[in-house]
């Protein structure tokens, strides 16, 4: 081998070594961020569970099961049912139809309790002097239509035939018209906000996201890859939700999955304005972006600047006022029913 050939071999070897070193460095740079030391030993290997005692010690007020909201003429079509005599709760329960929906709308029957003199869903051991059947006028699936109203009449009549009651149905045309007006209002005042946090350089592991989100007050949600920020009040709806890829969350070793984005969501009509939901969403998004070396964008990848957030905050205040005036305050049972 002459000197020229030997020189080329040496240069080639040096170039190859440099490429290997560069690729190793690049892999190290792009490794997903993992939980820092101090997390529990098996923290990164499993989806976290809700620890009731630790949350209570940390000052969280856990949501309590909410009594099912009663029928309300504001968002329900209601048919009073006259009875010849008082009926037992057991008889009402036995006569109820097997399904509690008509199309996409919830159907319900309530009784006037002879002791408390309050309307309630029928309960065994109670007696009722009057009954009423109701069907929701609108929800996010749309407004009540003629076919659904007709099914409501048939279902209620069948129920009454079993109990010997006499229903008094409102005018179909008026109720369908009212449903369309309510649906239009809901469409114009529904707000579901989302921020996407995107990694600038280093990807994140699911366990790293869980660790950081937990420090900010999020708890495990009902599905893998979903976390919830509980309300400070004992409310049924969380303030915010955080979500990332479900498959990555279910991986055998979540520390090895590489994620480059997560989403923060706010269901505006579901959360009481006193919780400051958007302000907290904004604060959390900014804090997470700083810590995780990411940026806050919309769902199309456009950066969300501070002035744009100021505009959103002002618009939300006007929205809250409008919902209050319509007696559909954000976070109320009626608002959650309508905007669902």
Q: Which tens digits make up the pLDDT trace of 312-336?
A: 999 999 999 999 999 999 999 999 9
Q: Where are the alpha helices (DSSP H) in the chain?
A: 3-29, 52-57, 89-95, 146-163, 172-189, 206-215, 246-249, 277-292, 306-325, 333-338
Closest by Cα among 318, 252, 239 to 281: 239
Backbone angles phi, psi at 164, to 5 degrees: 80, 30
Predicted confidence (pLDDT) per residue in 213-237, tens digit: 999 999 999 999 999 999 987 778 9
Q: What percent of the chain has pLDDT over 90?
A: 74
Class of domain 43-63+190-338: alpha beta
Identify the pLDDT of residue 22: 42
Residues 275 and 63: their CA atoms lie apart, in Å, by 14
Residues 128 and 110: their CA atoms lie apart, in Å, by 9
Average pLDDT over residues 148-167: 97
Identify the pLDDT of residue 35: 61
Q: List all residues 6 or more positions away from 147 whose beta carbon is below 8 Å from its beta carbon.
A: 103
Average pLDDT over residues 183-212: 96
Identify the pLDDT of residue 234: 73
Identify the pLDDT of residue 23: 47
What is the chain's mean pLDDT, rounded?
85
Indicate the pLDDT class of residue 67, thresholds 50, 70 and 90. Answer: low
Closest by Cα among 291, 218, 289 to 47: 218
pLDDT at 36 over 70: no
Predicted confidence (pLDDT) per residue in 256-269, tens digit: 789 999 999 999 99
- 180-194: b (≥16 Cβ within 10 Å) or e: bebbebbeebebebe
pLDDT: is 154 or 66 the higher one?
154
Identify the pLDDT of residue 336: 96
Taking each helix axis from N to C end, the angle separating 277-292 and 206-215, rounded to the nearest 10 degrees, works out to 130
The CA angle 257-266-33, to the nearest 5 degrees, is 20
Residue corresponding to tokens 């905007």: 339
Indicate the pLDDT class of residue 154, thresholds 50, 70 and 90. Answer: very high
76-187 and 43-63+190-338 share a CATH fold:
yes
Average pLDDT over residues 91-119: 96
Average pLDDT over residues 210-214: 95
pLDDT at 238 over 60: yes
> Which DSSP category does 274 fall into?
G
* 206-to-16, 214, 215, 261 alpha-carbon distances in Å: 35, 12, 14, 10
Range of lowest pLDDT (33-42, 44-53, 206-215, 283-292): 44-53
Identify the pLDDT of residue 73: 97
Q: What SS3 class is residue 78?
A: strand
Q: Tell me: domain 76-187, CATH 3.30.1400.10, correct?
A: yes
Residues 331 and 338: their CA atoms lie apart, in Å, by 11
212 in Cβ contact with 36 (< 8 Å): no
Backbone angles phi, psi at 67, to 5 degrees: -60, 135
Identify the pLDDT of residue 251: 86
138 in Cβ contact with 177 (< 8 Å): no
Average pLDDT over residues 139-160: 98
Q: List all residues 6 or more positions away from 221 whose beta carbon is below 8 Å from its beta carbon.
A: 227, 228, 241, 243
Q: What does the domain layout of the chain look like in residue ranges?
A: 43-63+190-338, 76-187
Predicted confidence (pLDDT) per residue in 158-193, tens digit: 999 999 999 999 999 999 999 999 999 999 999 999
Backbone angles phi, psi at 124, to 5 degrees: -65, 145
């Amino acid at each position: 081998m002459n000197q020229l050939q030997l020189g080329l071999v040496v240069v080639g070897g040096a170039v190859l070594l440099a490429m290997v070193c560069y690729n190793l460095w690049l892999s190290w740079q792009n490794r997903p961020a993992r939980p820092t030391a101090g997390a529990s030993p098996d923290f990164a290997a499993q989806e976290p569970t809700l620890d009731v005692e630790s949350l209570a010690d940390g000052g969280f007020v856990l949501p309590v099961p909410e009594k099912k909201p009663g029928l309300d003429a504001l968002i329900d079509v209601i048919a009073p049912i006259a009875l010849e005599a008082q009926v037992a709760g057991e008889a009402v329960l036995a006569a109820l139809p097997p399904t509690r929906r008509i199309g996409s709308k919830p159907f319900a029957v309530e009784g006037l309790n002879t002791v408390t003199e309050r309307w309630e869903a029928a309960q065994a051991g109670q007696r009722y002097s009057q009954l009423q059947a109701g069907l929701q006028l609108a929800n996010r699936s749309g407004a009540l239509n003629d076919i659904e109203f007709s099914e409501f009449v048939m279902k209620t009549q069948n129920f009454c035939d079993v109990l010997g009651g006499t229903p008094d149905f409102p005018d179909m045309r008026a109720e369908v018209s009212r449903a369309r007006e309510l649906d239009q209002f809901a469409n114009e005042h529904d707000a579901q906000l989302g921020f996407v946090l995107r990694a600038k350089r280093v990807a994140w592991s699911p366990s790293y996201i869980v660790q950081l989100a937990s420090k900010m007050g999020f708890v495990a949600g009902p599905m893998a890859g979903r976390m919830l920020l509980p309300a400070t009040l004992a409310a049924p709806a969380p303030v915010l939700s955080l979500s990332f890829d479900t498959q990555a969350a279910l991986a055998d070793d979540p520390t090895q999955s590489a994620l480059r984005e997560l989403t923060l969501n706010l269901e505006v009509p579901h959360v009481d304005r006193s919780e400051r939901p958007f302000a907290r969403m904004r604060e959390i998004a900014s804090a997470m972006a700083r810590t995780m070396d990411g940026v806050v964008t919309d769902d199309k990848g456009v950066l969300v600047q501070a002035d744009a957030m100021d505009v959103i905050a002002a618009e939300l205040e006007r929205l809250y006022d409008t919902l209050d005036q319509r007696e559909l305050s954000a976070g109320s049972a009626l608002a959650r029913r309508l905007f669902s």
